[in-house]
Structure 1
Amino acid sequence: HGQYAPEIPVESVPDFFRLPTGVNFGEVPAVAVNSQGHIFAFSRSNPTGGGPAYGIHAAQLFEFGPSGDFIREHGRGLYAWAFAHGLRIDVNDDIWTVDKGSNMVIRMNPEGRMVWVFGRKAESSSESARPIERQNPPAPPQDGRFREPTDIAFDSQGNIYIADGYINSRVAKYDMNGDWVLSWGEPGTGPGQLRTPHSIAIDSDDNVYVGDRSNARIQVFDTNGNFQRMFSVATPIAPGSKAVNGSTPADLANVSSNGAPNSLCIPPDSNILYVGESTFPGRIIKA
C-alpha cells in the first residue's frame, strides 16, 4: 500500500483534430509533435476499409497543424506499415515510425519522404508470411531484424535505440549513420532482463529509460546497455475506478496490480518523466 498521488490538472478539448470528411481515427497508439508545433498521429486505421478481419493492414500517419487542422497523410499504403505502434520526431524534425506488424522501422524527412528502413518483413510470396510463432524461450534474436518492435528513442549524439519488443525483449542500438552497434536484454524478470519492453525514452544526461511493461517497472541503462537502476511508479487507484476491459481488482489500494508502463515521454530539455500506464487504470503519471 502507498500514498495517493496528487492529481495533475488537465483541460480536455473536444473535437480538436479536424480530419477530412469520411476519415476517422482507429486506435491511436502514438502521437508526436515537431519543432513547428505540428502534431502527428499514427493511427490503426485502413485507407481502403477492406481486408480480412485478422491481419488487415492498420497503419496511417496523419499530420495536423498546431490548432488541429488537417495538413496531410504521409506514406499512404507504405509497404513497411501493417500495424501502427511507435512514433517519434527527432531534433531535425525527421519522422520515425515503428510498426509491430511488419517488424520494420522507418525514418522519413520532414516532408514525409522515406529516407531509411530498418528491419524486414516476411515476403508475401513466402510461406513464412504468417504471424510469428511464440516460443518459450523464443528463438535467438538476429542483428538488424526485429520481432514485434514497439518504440524508438535518440541520445544526444544522434544514436538510435529501438525497443524490440514483444518477442526479442531487448533494446537494439544503431549509430547516427544507421549502422548496427549492439543490443542488450533478454526475456526474464531479473535486473537487465525484460518482458515486453514497450516504450523507451532518453533524458538529457543520456540515461536510457525502458518501460518494462510486463514486469511493471522502468529500468534505466547507460548508452552501452549497462544496468543502472530500476523503479516502479505504482500508486493506489482512486476509489470507484472501473476497468474498461476485464475485471477490476478488488483492492484498489494494493499497488501490485498497477504501474505497468505502456508509454514514456521526457520533454525536450527536461528530466521529468511522464509515464502512460497500461490499460487499467490507464493514468498518466509524472515522475
Structure 2
Amino acid sequence: MKTFSKAAPWRRRAVEFALATAACALATPVYAAAPMPRFTPDTNWLKLPNGWILGETSAVAVDRKDHLWVLQRPRTLADADKGHAAPPVMEFDANGRFVQGFGGAGAGYDWPLTEHSLAVDAAGHVWISGNNRAKAEAADDMVLEFSGDGRFIRQIGKAGASKGDTDTDNFNAPADIFADDRGGEVYIADGYGNHRVIVLDGSTGAYRRMWGAYGVTPPPAAADAAPPAGQPAPGSFEAVHGVELARDGKLYVSDRNHQRIQVFTRDGHYLAQFAVNPGMASPQTASGIALSADPAQTYLYVADWGNNELLVYDRAAMALVGKFGSKGAAPGQFTGPHLLATDSKGVLYVAEAQGRRVQRLVPQRAR
C-alpha cells in the first residue's frame, strides 16, 4: 500500500426549485413543512498537493474532528494523468488542507477495483467498499477496514466470492457504509449485486443481521418480488445505494433504481417509505443521503444522481421542501452527485462522481 503524509414524497410533489444564483439562495416553497435551508456553494476549497488530480470522486465522510475524508477512483483517470493521480483515500481538515492519504493495492487484502464508499467510525477507523461487478475481473465482494493512518486491520468477504443475498460471509458489490458509533455496528447498503441491508459488529466485523425491502428476511433477490400484504410494489430493492442512521434510531435506505427511500428501525423493522423524484428524465434518483446537523436532524438531504439535483426533505413529515441544481460545473450545479456527508456545523459535502470534485455547501444564516 502507498501512504502519503502532509508533506507534499410519497406525500406530495412540491414546487420545483431552480438554482437561483451561484449562491444557491433558494426561496421557501408554499408547501414547505419546514423552511428551506440556504447554502453558499464552494467548489475550489480543497487544497490538493503535488499537482495531484482527482478521478471520479465517489464518496465523502466526516470524522469527529470535522475532518473530511474523500474516496476517489485513480483508475478512471486518462493514462496521461495517472502519474499525477491523488491517493484513493484522503483526509482534509475543515479548511480543506491536506492531512494525509493512503490506499491502493497491498499485501494481505483485496483493494476494490472500483472504489465506492467510505465511513469513519469513533475510533477513527476507515471502512471502504467497492462496486466492481465486471465479469472479466473479480467482483468487489468485500469491505475493508483500516486504521486512521492507513494500517490494514481486516477484510470482510472475498473478491468474487458472493453467493447471493443470503450469504453472511461475503457482499456483492456493496454500495454505502454507515458506522453507528453508539450501537457499535456498521450498516452496509449491499445493493449493486445483492438487494439488502446487512449489519456488522463494529469491533469484530462479524455478521449480525440483514433484511431486504419492507424488512423482509431473508431478502428477496428478484427485483420484481411480490411485496408484503398491503404494501405497494416493488417488493424488493433494486439498487440499495445509500444508508444513513439518525440519532432517533431511524435508518434511511435509498433504493436508487426504484426512486424511493425506505425507513426502518435499527433492527430492520419497516416504518415507512417515500418517493424520490419520480417521473424525471433519469429513473436513477435516490443516491446518497445525509442529515442536517441540528439536534432534531430536521432535514434529510438526498442526491438525485441521474438528474443532477439535490433534494431537501422535512424528515418528520417526509415531505419535500425544496430542491436545487442542474447539470454543470458551476458552483451549485452538479455532475453525478453521488454520496453526501455533513459536519457538525451543518456544512454539506457532495461527492460528484462524474464531476470529479467535492463541492462544499455552506449553510447561510437566517435573516
TM-score, reference length from structure 1:
0.76
> Is the CA contact (8 Å cut-off) linking 2:130 and 2:174 kept in structure 1?
yes
For 2:168 and 2:87, the matched residues in 1 are separated by 25
Matched, 1:232 2:275: yes
Question: In 1, are the aligned partners of 2:147 and 2:153 still within 8 Å (CA)?
Answer: yes
Aligned-partner Cα distance in 1 for 2:187–2:237: 15
Counterpart for residue 77 of structure 1: 105
Does the CA contact (< 8 Å) of 1:232 and 1:259 recur in 2? no
1:173 corresponding residue in structure 2: 199
Q: Report the Cα distance in structure 2 between the residues aligned to 1:147 and 1:11, rounded to whole angstroms.
A: 38
Cα distance between partner residues in 1 of 2:42 and 2:241: 28
Task: Tell me which of 61, 68, 73 is aligned to 1:32.
Answer: 61
Q: CA deviation at 1:213?
A: 0.8
What whole-Å deviation, never above 9, does each CA across 1:247-272 have from its counterpart, x for those lacking one?
xxxxxxx5696682110112565433
- Kept in 2: contact 1:234–1:259 (CA 8 A): no
**Partner amino acid, structure 2, of 1:166:** Y
Does the CA contact (< 8 Å) of 2:126 and 2:145 recur in 1? yes
**Pairing 1:88–2:115 present:** no
Alignment CA distance shift 1:26-1:158 (3 Å): same
Say whether the 8 Å CA contact 1:47–1:60 is kept in structure 2: no
Alpha-carbon spacing, 1:267–1:95, altered in 2? closer, same or farther (3 Å)? farther
2:5 paired residue number: none
Per-residue deviation, residues 75-117 of structure 1 (Å, max 9, x unmatched):
2434323111111222333221111122221222222222232
1:122-201 paired onto structure 2 within 5 Å: 122=160, 140-155=165-180, 156-176=182-202, 177-185=204-212, 186=220, 187-188=222-223, 190=227, 193-201=236-244
Would the alpha carbon gap of residues 11 and 76 (structure 1) be closer, same or farther in structure 2, given more than 3 Å must change? Answer: same
Unaligned segments of structure 1, at least 5 residues: 52-57, 123-127, 133-137, 236-253
* RMSD (Å) for aligned C-alpha atoms: 3.1
Distance 1:174 1:234 in 2: 31
How far apart are the structure 2 equivalents of 1:285 and 1:77?
Answer: 38
Q: 1:4 aligns to what SS in structure 2?
A: coil
| DSSP 3-state at the match of 1:214 | helix
- The 8 Å contact of residues 258 and 281 in structure 1, kept in 2 or not, is answered as no
- Report the secondary structure of 2:58's partner residue: strand
Q: Which runs of 5+ in 2 are unaligned?
A: 1-11, 18-25, 27-36, 81-85, 133-139, 213-219, 315-367
2:119–2:179 Cα contact (<8 Å) kept = no
The answer to whether the aligner puts 1:18 opposite 2:31 as a matched pair is no
Distance change (3 Å), C-alpha of 1:48 and 1:15: closer
Pairwise CA distance, 1:5: 5.4
Change (3 A) 1:228 1:116: same
Aligned residues of 1:184 and 1:225 also touching (Cα < 8 A): yes
Aligned partners of 2:45 and 2:305: how far apart in 1? 24
Q: Secondary structure at the match of 1:29?
A: strand
1:170 partner letter: R
The Cα of 1:201 is off from its aligned counterpart by 0.7
Identify the structure with bigger relative contact order (alpha carbons < 8 Å, sequence gap 6+). Answer: 2
Deviations 1:219-255 (A, max 9, x none): 11222222211112438xxxxxxxxxxxxxxxxxx56
CA distance in 2, matches of 1:274, 1:179: 30
* 1:279 is aligned to 2:310: no
| Deviation (angstroms), 1:202 | 0.7
Superposed CA deviations along residues 160-213 of structure 1, whole A, max 9, x for unmatched, are 211111121111112233211222113436356211000101111222211011
What's the CA shift string for 1:54-81, capped at 9, x where partnerless? xxxx981112222112222122434323
Match of 1:251 in 2: none
